[in-house]
C-alpha cells in the first residue's frame, strides 16, 4: 500500500528499485490483442489478434496492429493504439532517413535501438509518460539475415526465435516453446502462428475479421526482402488450408462481438464512440 507512493511519477524509483509507471504501462499491453512473431529460416512471420471488429467496421482500410515500417522491416504493435500510431510514424521516418543517408536499408537491430532510445527517454524525464506499447520487429538485413526483436515500454529489447506480446502471452509462449522447431520454413511458421492464435483467442473459430497476418521473405527474383501484409482473402485462404476457418454462418458472426463485449472489461472495448481508451 505505502509502496503506492512511488507510482505517480515516472522519475521516481520505489524503495525496491522499481519504476512503477513503467510497469503500469506494461499492464496496458496485457489487455491488448496478442501479436505473435516467429522466425523461420527463409522469412519471419507476424500474426495478430484484432480486438475491434464488427459489421460496420471498414475492414480493408487500415491494418491495426501490423505495419510495414520499411522495405525490410515489419512491425507488430500491442498497447495504446494512439501511442502506437505515433511510434509507427517515428519508425518510418527513421527508416527513410537512414535510406537517404546511406542509400541502404537500415539494419533491423539499428531501428530497434533507435526506437528503444526514444522509449527509454520517456521513462526518465519528468512531465512525460512512457509509451504504452510493446513492439515486435521482424526484418532482414545483409548482416544478420532474418531477425525478430521485441521491445517493451521501458525501452528494453531482445532478440527471439519466436515470441509474443499482448493479452494471452503466457499461453502463447508455452505453445511456441512446445512446437517451435529451429530451421522451420515460413510455411511452417505460419501454420504454427495460426495454431497458437486459434488456441489463445476467445472465439472458437478464426476468420479474416479477427486476425491480421504478415510475413517478410526474400523475393526469389530480386533477392530483396519483400514485406507482405495479408488481405482478408489471403487470410481466409490460409485459415481454410489450416482447417481453422469459421463455418460460414452469418448469425454467429453477429452474436460473437456481443459476447466479446459482454466478457471483456471496459478497457478492451472497441472504439465505438468514446466508451473508453482504445487498447489493441
Within 231-270, the residues that bind a copy of itself by CB under 8 A are 267
Angle made by CA atoms 159, 129, 16, in degrees to the nearest 5: 75
| Interaction residues for a copy of itself, span 62-81 (CB under 8 A) | 62, 64, 80-81
| Core vs surface per residue 201-213: b (16+ CB within 10 A) or e | bebebbbbbbbbb
CB of residue 222 to a copy of itself, shortest distance in Å: 25
Instruction: Decide whether 241 or 267 has the Cβ nearer to a copy of itself.
Output: 267
Between 20 and 230, whose beta carbon lies closer to a copy of itself?
A: 20
User: Which one of residues 121, 199, 231, 255 is an interface residue with a copy of itself (CB under 8 A)?
Assistant: 121
Give dist(CA 250, CA 145) in Å, integer. Answer: 44
The least CB distance from residue 238 to a copy of itself, in Å, is 23
Min separation Cβ 28 and a copy of itself, Å:
3
Q: How many CA atoms lie within 13 A of 261 on its CB side?
A: 13
Contact between 35 and 264 under an 8 Å Cβ cutoff? The reply is: no
Rounded Cα gap, residues 158 and 184, in angstroms: 21
Rounded-to-integer distance, Cα 179 and Cα 111, Å: 29
| Alpha carbon distances (Å) from 56 to 247, 257, 258, 264 | 21, 12, 14, 20
Choose the binding region for a copy of itself from 48-56, 92-100, 206-214, 228-236 (rule: CB under 8 A). 48-56
Q: Which is nearer to a copy of itself, 54 or 236 (CB)?
A: 54
Coil/strand/helix, residue 178: helix
Q: Which is nearer to a copy of itself, 130 or 227 (CB)?
A: 130
Cell output for 15? 524503495
Count, residues near a copy of itself per rule CB under 8 A: 101
Give CA 20 to chain center in angstroms. 23
Least CB distance to a copy of itself at residue 224 (A): 22
Should residue 55 be labelled a site residue for a copy of itself when binding is judged by CB under 8 A?
Answer: yes
* Closer residue to a copy of itself, CB minimum distance, 144 or 199: 144
> By CB under 8 A, which span of 115-123, 191-199, 216-224, 242-250 interacts with a copy of itself?
115-123
Amino acid at each position: 500500500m505505502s509502496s503506492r507512493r512511488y507510482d505517480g511519477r515516472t522519475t521516481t524509483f520505489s524503495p525496491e528499485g522499481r519504476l512503477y509507471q513503467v510497469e503500469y504501462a506494461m499492464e496496458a499491453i496485457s489487455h491488448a490483442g496478442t501479436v505473435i512473431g516467429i522466425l523461420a529460416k527463409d522469412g519471419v512471420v507476424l500474426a495478430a489478434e484484432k480486438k475491434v471488429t464488427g459489421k460496420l467496421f471498414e475492414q480493408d482500410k487500415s491494418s491495426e496492429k501490423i505495419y510495414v515500417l520499411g522495405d525490410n522491416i515489419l512491425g507488430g504493435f500491442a498497447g495504446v493504439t494512439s501511442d502506437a500510431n505515433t511510434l509507427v510514424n517515428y519508425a518510418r521516418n527513421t527508416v527513410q532517413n537512414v535510406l537517404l543517408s546511406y542509400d541502404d536499408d537500415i539494419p533491423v537491430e539499428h531501428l530497434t535501438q533507435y526506437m528503444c532510445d526514444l522509449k527509454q527517454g520517456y521513462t526518465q524525464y519528468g512531465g512525460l509518460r512512457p509509451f504504452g506499447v510493446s513492439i515486435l520487429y521482424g526484418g532482414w538485413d545483409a548482416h544478420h539475415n532474418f531477425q525478430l526483436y521485441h521491445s517493451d515500454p521501458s525501452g528494453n529489447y531482445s532478440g527471439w526465435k519466436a515470441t509474443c506480446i499482448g493479452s494471452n502471452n503466457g499461453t502463447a509462449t508455452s505453445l511456441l516453446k512446445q512446437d517451435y522447431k529451429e530451421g522451420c520454413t515460413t510455411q511452417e511458421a505460419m501454420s504454427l502462428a495460426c495454431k497458437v492464435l486459434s488456441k489463445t483467442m476467445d472465439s472458437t473459430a478464426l476468420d479474416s475479421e479477427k486476425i491480421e497476418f504478415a510475413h517478410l521473405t526474400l523475393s526469389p527474383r530480386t533477392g530483396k526482402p519483400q514485406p507482405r501484409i495479408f488481405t482478408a482473402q489471403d487470410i481466409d485462404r490460409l485459415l481454410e488450408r489450416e482447417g481453422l476457418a469459421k463455418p460460414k454462418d452469418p448469425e454467429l458472426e453477429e452474436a460473437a462481438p456481443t459476447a466479446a463485449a459482454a466478457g471483456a472489461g471496459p478497457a478492451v472495448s472497441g472504439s465505438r464512440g468514446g466508451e473508453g481508451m482504445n487498447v489493441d
